[in-house]
Every structure is written in C-alpha cells, then in structure tokens.
Amino acid sequence: MPDLFDKFQPLIDQYEGLMASGMRDPFHLKMEKILSPTRAVVDGREIILVGTYNYMGMTFDPDVIAAGQKALEEFGSGTTGSRVLNGTYQGHAECEAALRDFYDMDHAMVFSTGYQANLGLMSAMAGRGEYIVLDADSHASIYDGCAMGNADIVRFKHNSVEDLAKRLKRIPEDAGKLVVLEGVYSMVGDIAPLKEMVAVAKEAGAMVVVDEAHAMGFFGENGRGVFEAAGVEDQVDFVVGTFSKSVGTVGGFVVSNHPKFDVLRFVCRPYVYTASLPPAVVACAATSIRKLMHAHDKRAHLWAASRKMHAELRAAGFTLGTAEAESAIIAVKMPDQERSAKMWAALIDEGVYVNMVPPQATPGLHLLRCSLCAEHSDAEVDEIIARFKRAAAAAGLPLST
C-alpha cells in the first residue's frame, strides 16, 4: 500500500536533523504563562517577547478584557453558526460599526480570520476572464485565494512599480483587473510604494486591494495603515485586515466604500460556510479598534523603539532586511540554517524570543524576524539590544563592523 505520507519525507528528515543536533524546537516553543504583551514564561523562565504580532500591545488592555468578559457572560461562549444563518449577533454589528468608524468607510465585513478574508475577497472579486495582479511576495492567504478562484493570475516583481506597470499593459484593456498590494510585508518589514503603485493601477483601470495586516494601528495619523500614510485613501477600493495583530484577538475584515459591497456577504464562501466569531472575540475587537483610533502616544513610542532597535543592531554589525526601520518589524539576516538555529537558541538562552523563519516562508532568506510592541519599555529595548550582542558572541556569529 502506498503511504501517502511518503511525499513529506524530505521535510520530516530536515526537521529530525535539526532536532538531532540537540537544538530546542524553534517551531513549537510552549509559552507556559503570558505575563504581559511583552513577557512570557518558557521552561519556568521569564523571557522577553520580540516576535509577536502584538504591535500595539492591546492583549491585556483592561477595557478590552472587560468587554470580552461581559460578552462571554451575556452572549455565551460561541455563536454555533454562520453569519448568514444564525451567527450574526449584536456584537458582530458593533464590530463592523467600529471598523467603519476607524476607516471612515461606508462598509465593513468581519470574517473569522484574516486568512479567510483574503480567501473570500480574491476568490469572489475576480472571476473567469478577469485578472488578479499581485506582488510576488504576497502573503499565502492571497495566493490561496487566487488558487480558489477562476481569475488569471499575474505576478509582478516585489515592490517594483515599473514591473507592475509593464504587466498591467499586457492585460487586455477592457478586462476586469484587481491589483493586490500589502502595506507592510511581514517577513522583511519593508513597505510598499503605495502612492506610485496605486497611481499605476488606477491608470490601467484596475480596482485596488491593500492588505494592511501589519500596519493597522501603527501607520498614518489615525492608524489606518500605509495607505493612509501614503495619502491614497480615496483611491483604494478595499482594505483587508486582521484582528490577530494590532487589535490583539482573532478575526479578519474587509472595508470598502463601494456601494455594492454588501453583495459579498452572499458570494464569499469563506464568509458563508464557516462559523462566525465568538461574542467575546468581537467585543474585544470592537473595544480595541475604538481605542486604537486614539493611540497616538503608543504609535509614537513604537516608532521610536523600532528606529532605535534598528539603528543599534545595524551599528553592532547585524545585517538587516531594510536599510532603515520601515515598520515595527526588524528582520535580522542569517548566513545559513545552522547559524540561524544557533543564534535563535542563543537568544532563547538570553531570554529573548524572536521568530526563526526558513527560506520557504521568506523571499529566500534565513531570517530571525523581530517585531516590537508599543508596550516594550525603553529599558526593555535596551535590554533586547544588549542580549542580541551577547547571543551573537555565544553563537559565534560574525558581525560586519
């Protein structure tokens, strides 16, 4: 009998090889206790978290927690149903109202995850004979949404305005086109040149989606994302986002000003054929979103911390993914798998958790992906930088000073 698992053997061998080297498992680190947005207990030891998506540190906000507890008590633990049948509660409507206010847009639709929001939007918005034009480094959920639909898929070189324009010119002028961009790219932490890209897309008559998953709460005067900071709010047709990062819980959404937007509630399969978010989750999300509108001080602190950590790691000789801090994500490039694993383990020994990301999940790079949180204190940022330097010495990592 053929074993259907045989095709995974190379991956199993690679993983077992890593474990045989005596290394701690970087992919299943168990957090025994979460003490705050920036601290956890692992193996009975307190560590600083420098690899979460908790950019704005909302997970322990007292108002968010109180809203979740109240909804849990008043509405129960789950909806046990789809949004279009039996899973739309007062809290889902309030959450969508919070999103409309946050983005100052006419329509908002909440999905159970950001992954599903992208699946739903990509697969439903562009059909047979239409085109999706996407950045080559797009998130897996965007690619999977394309694979689920029937549109023709065209990729352009990561962040290249020129290549985007070239690809758009080759598509028949009268064909429907959807250009998909991300504000911040999650692994390297670079941002898209949205002003130029949106101009090129609009000139070609395309509709534009921007996934602001890693920018919400942090970019722009109102925390809406890179599209706000770039001044293209009135030209973007859809913004996709998630509650699993700055909002601090789980869920996904799309917002838009298009007058026909609500028809998507019937045609997005990942919206229709899955259970809606639990009442406690949407209550937490709505409260967090409303607080993020006014989180100017948190935004300023996170920018200062990100710029400081980037500058000091660069000065210490680490090779970073971007020349300057473009977001709260700082990607430290490693020369190979072995040194990446060694440095990751040395950081854990120092009490610092970052994400070890293999080339399969990055644009071909071995990365130690770090992300800062608005709740990291100045002293914590100094401590993280000092521990990075000590870990590099312990791991024998050559620094280019």
Task: List contacts with ligand PMP (CB under 6 A).
Answer: 113-115, 118, 139, 141, 182, 186, 211, 213-214, 242, 244, 252
Least distance in angstroms from the C-beta of 213 to ligand PMP: 4
Least distance in angstroms from the C-beta of 245 to ligand PMP: 7
Least distance in angstroms from the C-beta of 261 to ligand PMP: 19
Q: Which is nearer to ligand PMP, 119 or 161 (CB)?
A: 119
Least Cα distance to 149 among 268, 241, 273, 239 occurs for: 268
89 φ/ψ angles, rounded to the nearest 5 degrees: -105, 170
Rounded CA-CA distance 108/99 in Å is 6
Q: Which is nearer to ligand PMP, 68 or 270 (CB)?
A: 270
Q: Which is nearer to ligand PMP, 139 or 369 (CB)?
A: 139
List Cα–Cα distances, 172 to 16, 129, 130, 284, in angstroms.
49, 10, 10, 45
Pairing relationship of beta strands 329-334 and 252-256 according to DSSP bridges: unpaired
DSSP state of 276: P
Least distance in angstroms from the C-beta of 9 to ligand PMP: 28
Q: Which is nearer to ligand PMP, 115 or 156 (CB)?
A: 115
Least distance in angstroms from the C-beta of 349 to ligand PMP: 27
| 93, 116 Cβ separation under 8 angstroms | no
* CB-closest chain residue to ligand PMP: 114
Least distance in angstroms from the C-beta of 399 to ligand PMP: 29
Q: Which tokens belong to 383? A: 């401590």
Q: Which is nearer to ligand PMP, 171 or 181 (CB)?
A: 181
CA 57-62-64 angle, 5° bins: 75
Beta-carbon contacts of 203 under 8 Å, excluding residues fewer than 6 positions away, are: none
| 152, 132 Cβ separation under 8 angstroms | yes
Q: Which is nearer to ligand PMP, 141 or 327 (CB)?
A: 141
